[in-house]
Chains A and B, each alone.
Chain A
Amino acid sequence: LASKRRMIATDEDIRKEVWRGVIPAVVTLSANDVTTLQAPSSYYILLPRVSYLPIVTQSVRKFFSGSIASVNSEMWFGDSKGRPLKWHLPIGLLFDLFGSPSDLPWRLTVHFHGLHETILPCPSIDTVKRSFLHLAKEANYLRHGDSAKFTSLSVAETDDLWDGLKNNSYQQFWKSNEKLLSDKHWMKNVPIRIYSQNSYQYQQELIQPFEDDKTTSKTLGKVLAEVMPHEFKDGSEGKAMVHGTFPSMSTPIVWLNENCSHPDNFLYIVIIKNE
């Protein structure tokens, strides 16, 4: 996502690259859930960065169904350090927070009982749909200053957002998502959530996206310096990760939100502190 590549690639190319990102993972059944004499083997899976764990892990439940007590119990995941993975965050964000690109496949443990107390209950796929649409609604409230643009989507268009995500269909998703962008790339506030590695805490501020001339988008670097002056004042060396890569600090923030957000329309940034 360096600015050099942006001159060659179109916005559509970038959006497709964001959409297609995957994390190779290997899932092991938690020892507490094994009911068979021999523990089952581990399960390898490619996890789409832009999706959510409950959507793409039904095959995990199927794979381990012969080894667990109850096939209908609530499934949840932890990483190799025993940290619970909150399904309501996009998979790519979870990996950027807790995984490491030098340590693949991402090692996960699956549990079928004792839902961790910090994980939201997820009794059905509709729970994920509602969570996703609420975030999209909030993100668009921030962008446009009111909910009108989002609530004026027809039921079919809203369903396309969700079904496109659920069925991993870029075309179906972006057909509707395009309608949530304003014609002239105007935004009232940029929907951004800023995280730091190894933590679920995040920062969300009201961020005006334009310079004083009201037409030039602020850069990523400028926004970070405003929101986190300690880490990003001149000369300091925090790094900002988006979808596992480091965009140039001169990237316009409006462009970054329009093309590199997660499907919920929030731009998620993970700060990597230099040791």
Chain B
Amino acid sequence: MAKAFAEMTQSITKDDSWTWKQVSPAVRSGCLVRDTSCFVISKPVIHPQNPSDLDTMEEDHGSFRGPLNAFHTYSYSIAHNPGYQLPVMYFTASHSDGSLLHEEEIWKDFAAQPSNMENIISQCEHPVFMRPSNFVHPCNTSAMLKILSRNDAIPSGFAPILLWLSMISPVLHFTLPPIWYRHLSSELNPSLDDGTDSESIGEM
């Protein structure tokens, strides 16, 4: 099903596509990889030498106080986690020089208080690539997915993966292409031709 999802994205949203990568023939040694990375401007760190400097800096809206190349690169993949028996979103986050971000630096790339992110995003080893990575904790989504899977009205197509992506989208640095939602709508309502009836999504 993951491979079918990858094919769907490659045909519908070429600039936001996913690819299935198989590292070895062994079971569970493959994962879905997002083909493009996204870039997050890191928040500049301001260290005024004395309090009066802060006033001048606040006036200067145009200039960027941090180093010119202060952006972070996020690359995503989805793999099955054998412990939680769920899909898990993994990502690497690097500085512009290629060095990896530490957990606390990653938390700062979200609007929330960094310490609140501790139970949401953590460092780990990627289960397929066996390299440093980070993951979005699955516990928050497992309860929701259990409820969804009990609902016989949900077909087995792309709906579960798209719904899961929607659930975790607040902690992703990319937005989900709107056209996927049209695809989701037409899956849930196969009787509709164009799949753009928003009322039927509400029935769900």
Contacts and interface: CB of A to CB of B under 8 A. Distances in A.
A17 interface: no
B83 interface: yes
B123 A121 contact: yes
A134 B125 contact: no
Interface of B: 82-85, 100, 102-104, 118, 122-125, 130-132, 139
A264 B118 CA distance: 19
Closest 7 interchain pairs by CB? A138-B83, A204-B82, A120-B132, A123-B102, A121-B100, A147-B139, A121-B102
B82 A127 contact: no
Contacts of A179: none
Contacts of A88: 125
B123 A130 contact: yes
Interface in A61-89: 86, 88
Given A120-B132, A121-B102, A121-B132, A86 B84 contact: no
Given A118-B131, A201-B130, A206-B85, 11 more contacts: A86-B125, A120-B124, A121-B100, A121-B123, A123-B102, A127-B102, A127-B103, A130-B103, A130-B122, A134-B122, A139-B83
Contacts of A127: 102-103, 123
Q: Is the interface of A mostly helix, strand, loop or mixed?
A: loop
27 contacts: A117-B132, A118-B130, A118-B131, A118-B132, A120-B124, A120-B132, A121-B100, A121-B102, A121-B123, A121-B132, A123-B102, A123-B104, A127-B102, A127-B123, A130-B118, A130-B123, A134-B124, A138-B83, A138-B84, A141-B83, A141-B139, A142-B83, A191-B83, A201-B130, A204-B82, A205-B82, A206-B82
Name the interface size band of chain A: 20 to 34
A206 B85 CA distance: 9
A224 B102 CA distance: 38
Nearest to B118: A130
A153 interface: no
A131 interface: yes
Interface of A: 86, 88, 117-121, 123, 127, 130-131, 134, 138-139, 141-142, 147, 191, 200-201, 204-206
Contacts, number: 45
Contact of A120 (B104, B125, B139): B125
B86 to A, nearest CB: 11
Contacts of A201: 130
Contacts of B125: 86, 88, 120
B138 to A, nearest CB: 10
Contacts of A191: 83
A118 B131 CA distance: 5
Contacts of B103: 127, 130
Contact of B83 (A117, A121, A131, A204): A204
Given A118-B131, A200-B130, A131 B123 contact: yes
A28 to B, nearest CB: 25
B85 to A, nearest CB: 7
A142 B102 CA distance: 28
B122 to A, nearest CB: 6
Nearest to B26: A201
B195 to A, nearest CB: 36
Contacts of B139: 141, 147
Contacts of B132: 117-121
Contacts of A121: 100, 102, 123, 132
A134 B81 CA distance: 13
Nearest to B98: A117
A134 B137 CA distance: 10
Contacts of B104: 123
